[in-house]
A and B are shown apart, each in its own frame.
Chain A
Amino acid sequence: MARALVNIPPKAKRGEVITIRTLMSHQMETGFRYSTTGAPIPRDIITTFIATYNGEEIFRAELFPAIAANPFITFTTVATESGTIELTWRGDNGFAASEQATITVE
């Protein structure tokens, strides 16, 4: 279901600061809207984004309804060693998705 776009460099030099771009498809329903019948549309957003590098947390974000649909988050990290970068999104109504990418550090 969930569709993610991730841009992590496959290779980097040791100590290099790399940019990680992420986008998760999600409508981010704000909870501030009403349907045609006047009933409030319940909030349905991604609330948490976590990035780990070989299991160690390197970045975390708490998201609010003011984040645009299809949350886009870009951050940086230092390429320390070869391994796996894992990205996890969690949200309302049990939303959970993750993406992995391997990076080779020379």
Chain B
Amino acid sequence: MAGRALFVGLMLLASVTPGAHAATLELPPAGASSCGGCHAPPGVDTAVPTLHGKTAAEIVAQMQSFRSGAQPSTVMDRIAKGFTDPEIEAIAAWYARQK
């Protein structure tokens, strides 16, 4: 969070045009912010695994196998079907950057 704050601040300082500002906000890719409702950061003990610390490839593989049904699941199969491959890849890449 602190890193993101500094980043936004610096970019605002160096602002050029209004349109440039949107790019300075590091928004999660479409859909990613919803994941945090169930998937906690490390240190929270629940039955739902954390996504932090996983590689992008791991998350992509898991989502694809949920979507295809290769990996049995309770709820993730239904959610994975709402995302295309590029969307899953973007979410995975974003989570892989979260510390």
Please determine if A and B sit in direct contact within the complex, based on CB atoms under 8 angstroms apart.
no
